[in-house]
Chains A and B, each alone.
Chain A
Amino acid sequence: MLSILRDLLRYNREFAAGAVLLAIVVALAAMSAFAPMPPEDVYVVPPDVPPSWAYPMGTTSRGQDVFWQLAFAIRNTLLFGFIVAILSRILSLVIGLVSGYLGGIVDRVLMSINDTFIVMPLFPILVMFYFVMKDRMSWAALALVMAGLGWAYDARLIRSIAMSLRTRQFTEQSVFSGMSTSQIVTQDHLPYVMPIVFSTTMNNINWSIGLEVTLSVLGFTNINTPTIGVMIYWANQHTAMTAGVWWWIFFPVALVIMTFIGLFLLAVSMNEYIDPRSRLSRMRGTRT
């Protein structure tokens, strides 16, 4: 896996570009550790100051430094996306591998449920969730709910990989050599599945951040924890655009777009790498 990443970094322009974009974003998130003030405090700096030497990204109408606010926001947003992705990865891996490997009736039942979640319009359900939970809707609860709803698409992908692996020769050999199902799945199949898990993780982070931003902007999350969406929410509340406080909107939007494109580039270049056709040619390259 590590050598794959190194190869990609060296030979794939898209992967390198994505990595650079993300590195910038992560660096900014890491800066939050050095912030001179806690993120919740308001009116700590003069409000509505445009970008300047003292405040490189300006200040908000609530008297917050946009730069430090952004550092906290992107940190929380990334963390959120990451947690949702990890949790839903566990679900999609288990369901995808079990379904693809066992096949038969188990597969059919699991895939019916799976397709149900693919088709389901999740946004109204999430909104309804917030609606009944109101202030009890914490950041963690939202992450849990989204992980519980967002595994389906990738489970299908992993299942199809598992199905193709199942029929490979080495699986038959493993079966003959007396390995248990769990051994086969973890030792034989995971190395093939890992790159796919990586690319679906990137896509899933994108998906969950996108939804989080959307829900927050509408005010449907805890609006006191700064995230990118919450920042835009407050900017909208203060009609930053009409008031000419454009920097309050511009920087979070630009940063989150960078995040999306960065993650996406990592995912597609990894996909290209694992495309069965190009992968086959590479495997031929080492065998023939």
Chain B
Amino acid sequence: MQSINVYIVKRLGQFFLVVFIGINIVFFVTHATPIDPVEYSIAAAASFGSTSPEAINMLRESLTELYGLQGGIWDQYLTFWKRIAVADFGPSVSAFPTPVSTLIGRAVPWTIGLLLTAIVISWVLGNLLGGLAGYYRESRILKAAGVIAMGLHPIPYYIVAFVLLIVFGYLWPVMPLGGGYQRNLAPGFNLAFVASVAKHSFLPALSLVLVGLGSWFMGMRALVSNIVTEDYVTYAELAGVERNRILTSYVMRNALVPQITGLAMSLGAIFNGAIITEQVFGYPGVGTLLVSAVHAGDYSLVLGITTISIIGVSAAVLIIDLLYPLLDPRMKAG
């Protein structure tokens, strides 16, 4: 039990380190900007047609605290952290005076939903197929699957999404071109709406799955072809244990352990992919919000999304890390 506590403390430490370094990068970048974000943003807000002096003051205050250059650098640093700690990024400029946190809060469930679906499908499917391909090396179908996975894997998310959009949106228009659901439907928990969401999420999820599938497939296949030469597998084969049992409980079960670590390690990259994919399909998640925030010159929103992304991804990694000992009995005694 001792070492599992040490493990948890270490993982927590790593989580805080990622958040700490990430936020520091954000601080550094935002304070290295050559233009004054405060005046720039207030001008931008005015151009969006807001006049309420009260709201403008709020905006000025939050912008000054987040990007302000007055006071010593240390003071700036501390006020910056204070804002971050309570996730208060002030009002958005482009959707003035809606607070940034509200905008992000609206987008996050879409992103989580999309990511979760895509990750689960690609991880499960990729590992399953990769495991089979590693174990039944002669199978033609699995070899072909390997070639397809290898072909798709190196292509970046953007290109895959873009090609899917062209093929299924323009050339053979069976899928909606973008958005999260049909415009004329009122959001709610009813069949029409859910079906519409599913239809709109299909292509974004598909492109995430297609790219992800390849890396899990290849990773698992390589792991399995190493594990099949392990003594415990040879021994089980010698003992005449059924092949299916060997494949599941001996080979794949052991390969799962590094594949979980792999999932934690690649979460950041998958998140990048989701952001890009969302933007291609105009899917109403964090990614689309980020890109439109950049185009609208919305400082607070860009800062908020970046910060939340860093915290969110590292929290997800932490959760996976903490689940890990459940999969690997060796962790407990260590």
Which of B74-82, B124-132, B146-154, B325-333 interfaces with chain A? B146-154
Contacts of A242 in B (CB 8 A): 170
Contacts of A232 in B (CB 8 A): 162
Q: Is A2 an interface residue (CB 8 A)?
A: no
Interface residues of A (CB under 8 A from B): 112-113, 115-116, 118-125, 127-134, 136, 153, 206, 209-211, 213-214, 217-218, 220, 232, 241-242, 249, 253, 256-257, 260-261, 263-265, 268, 277
Interface residues of B (CB under 8 A from A): 13-14, 17-18, 21-22, 25-26, 29-30, 32-35, 37, 150-151, 153-159, 162-163, 166, 170, 218, 226, 229, 264-265, 267-268, 271-272, 275-276, 279, 290-291, 294, 299, 302-303, 305-306, 309-310, 313-314, 317
Q: Determine if B154 and A263 form an interchain contact, defined as CB atoms under 8 angstroms apart.
A: yes
Partner of A118, one of B151, B268, B306: B268
Contacts of B21 in A (CB 8 A): 113, 116, 120
Q: Determine if B290 and A264 form an interchain contact, defined as CB atoms under 8 angstroms apart.
A: no
In whole angstroms, how far apart are the Cα atoms of A120 and B26 in the complex? 12
Contacts of B302 in A (CB 8 A): 127-128, 131
Q: Determine if B154 and A214 form an interchain contact, defined as CB atoms under 8 angstroms apart.
A: no
Contacts of A121 in B (CB 8 A): 268, 271-272, 275, 309-310, 313
* With A121-B272, A260-B154, A268-B150 as contacts: A128 and B18 at CB distance below 8 Å: no
* With A115-B14, A220-B294 as contacts: A124 and B154 at CB distance below 8 Å: no
Q: Determine if B276 and A214 form an interchain contact, defined as CB atoms under 8 angstroms apart.
A: yes
Q: Determine if A210 and B158 form an interchain contact, defined as CB atoms under 8 angstroms apart.
A: yes
Closest to A153 in B: B265
* With A121-B271, A214-B157, A261-B151 as contacts: A127 and B290 at CB distance below 8 Å: yes
Given contacts A124-B306, A132-B32, A214-B156, 6 further A-B contacts (CB under 8 A): A119-B265, A120-B18, A121-B309, A124-B310, A132-B33, A220-B294
Contacts of B17 in A (CB 8 A): 112-113, 116
Whole-angstrom distance from the CB of B145 to the nearest CB of chain A? 16
Contacts of A206 in B (CB 8 A): 154, 156
Q: Determine if A120 and B30 form an interchain contact, defined as CB atoms under 8 angstroms apart.
A: no
Contacts of A132 in B (CB 8 A): 29-30, 32-33, 35, 37
In whole angstroms, how far apart are the Cα atoms of A122 and B291 in the complex? 15
Contacts of B13 in A (CB 8 A): 112
Find the residue from A133, A153, A218, A277 having the highest chain B CB count within 10 A.
Answer: A218
Find the residue from A118, A128, A220, A242 having the highest chain B CB count within 10 A.
Answer: A128
Partner of A260, one of B34, B156, B272: B156
Whole-angstrom distance from the CB of B213 to the nearest CB of chain A? 15
Closest to B21 in A: A116
Q: Determine if B158 and A217 form an interchain contact, defined as CB atoms under 8 angstroms apart.
A: yes
In whole angstroms, how far apart are the Cα atoms of A217 and B158 in the complex? 9
Whole-angstrom distance from the CB of B90 to the nearest CB of chain A? 16
Whole-angstrom distance from the CB of B38 to the nearest CB of chain A? 13
Q: Determine if B158 and A125 form an interchain contact, defined as CB atoms under 8 angstroms apart.
A: no
Closest to B222 in A: A275
In whole angstroms, how far apart are the Cα atoms of A131 and B26 in the complex? 12
Partner of B162, one of A118, A220, A253: A253
User: Nearest 10 pairs between A and B by C-beta?
Assistant: A210-B156, A264-B154, A132-B33, A123-B272, A214-B158, A124-B306, A260-B154, A121-B271, A124-B309, A121-B268
In whole angstroms, how far apart are the Cα atoms of A91 and B318 in the complex? 26
Q: Determine if B272 and A119 form an interchain contact, defined as CB atoms under 8 angstroms apart.
A: no
Partner of B166, one of A122, A153, A249: A249
Partner of A122, one of B18, B29, B159, B272: B272
Contacts of B34 in A (CB 8 A): 133, 136
Partner of B14, one of A112, A217, A260: A112
Contacts of A253 in B (CB 8 A): 159, 162-163
Closest to A211 in B: B156
Q: Determine if A213 and B153 form an interchain contact, defined as CB atoms under 8 angstroms apart.
A: no
Q: Determine if A133 and B33 form an interchain contact, defined as CB atoms under 8 angstroms apart.
A: yes
Q: Determine if A120 and B33 form an interchain contact, defined as CB atoms under 8 angstroms apart.
A: no
Partner of A123, one of B25, B276, B314: B276
Whole-angstrom distance from the CB of A28 to the nearest CB of chain B? 18
Whole-angstrom distance from the CB of B65 to the nearest CB of chain A? 17
Q: Determine if B166 and A128 form an interchain contact, defined as CB atoms under 8 angstroms apart.
A: no
* With A118-B265, A119-B317, A214-B276 as contacts: A241 and B166 at CB distance below 8 Å: yes
Contacts of B22 in A (CB 8 A): 116, 120, 125
In whole angstroms, how far apart are the Cα atoms of A209 and B159 in the complex? 11
Partner of B268, one of A119, A133, A210, A220: A119
Contacts of A249 in B (CB 8 A): 166
> What would be 30 A-B contacts, judged by CB atoms less than 8 Å apart?
A112-B17, A115-B265, A118-B268, A119-B18, A120-B18, A120-B313, A120-B314, A121-B268, A123-B271, A124-B290, A124-B306, A124-B309, A125-B26, A125-B29, A125-B306, A128-B26, A130-B294, A131-B299, A132-B32, A210-B155, A210-B156, A213-B156, A213-B158, A217-B162, A220-B294, A232-B162, A253-B159, A265-B150, A268-B218, A277-B226
